[in-house]
Amino acid sequence: MIELALGGARSGKSRYAELQAIESGKQVIYIATAEAGDSEMQTRIDIHRQERPPEWKTVEEPIELAEIIKMHENSHSYLLVDCLTLWLSNILFDKKGRLQQAVFDKQTAELFAVLAGFSGQLIFVSNEVGSGIIAMDKMTRLFVDEAGFLHQKIAALSNKVVLITAGLPQVLK
């Protein structure tokens, strides 16, 4: 079972995914894709770490998402990936903001291959970034476009897709 939980910033999507994980009754493997590029992001990461139940296993992996999913796929675990758009940013651009097309192509192909044969339980948390205005700069437009394409492909592979707005889940699929 694959689920995609989409929403804007502070929409409640992570809280929704965490409740799904708890309700599964399975061992939760929390896969965190964030990297601390500045002190504010480090603070956010630290808060998220402290808020997670201590019995959850946390795996921090900003790039090799497919490998981590494959490694932890089993019938006894519930995988929670937070956040797909941070992962996209990590694979699409290097630390200096330069496009890294080869890394992006490799990592997305590997993810789709793993998901095509996935038999465990998994929820992705991701930011819906395409509902606003068209960005003025090329890099942001590329990111928004690739996030939209990624969401479409993940949604097609998912058993359930939920849009969270103001903490309210709306089932799309």
pLDDT score of 51 more than 90 = no
Helices (H), the chain: 13-24, 39-51, 65-72, 84-92, 101-116, 138-157
Percent of the chain with pLDDT over 90: 80
Contact at 8 Å (CB) between 149 and 141? Answer: no
pLDDT of residue 136: 85
Q: Which domains does the chain have, with CATH numbers?
A: 2-171 (3.40.50.300)
Residue 36, pLDDT above cutoff 80? no
Say whether 48 is catalytic.
yes
C-alpha 96/C-alpha 169 separation (Å) is 36
Residue 21 Cα distances to 25, 56, 78, 103, 165, angstroms: 7, 10, 6, 30, 19
To which residue do tokens 């939760």 refer?
28
The pLDDT tens digits of the residues spanning 123-167 come to: 999 999 988 788 888 999 999 999 999 999 999 999 999 999 999
Q: What does pTM read for this prediction? A: 0.92
Across 17-31, b (16+ Cβ under 10 Å) vs e yields bbebbeeeebebbbb
Which of 48, 72, 76, 151 is labelled catalytic? 48
Q: In this predicted model, what pLDDT tens digit does every residue of 59-97 receive, in sequence order? A: 999 999 999 999 999 999 999 999 999 999 999 999 898
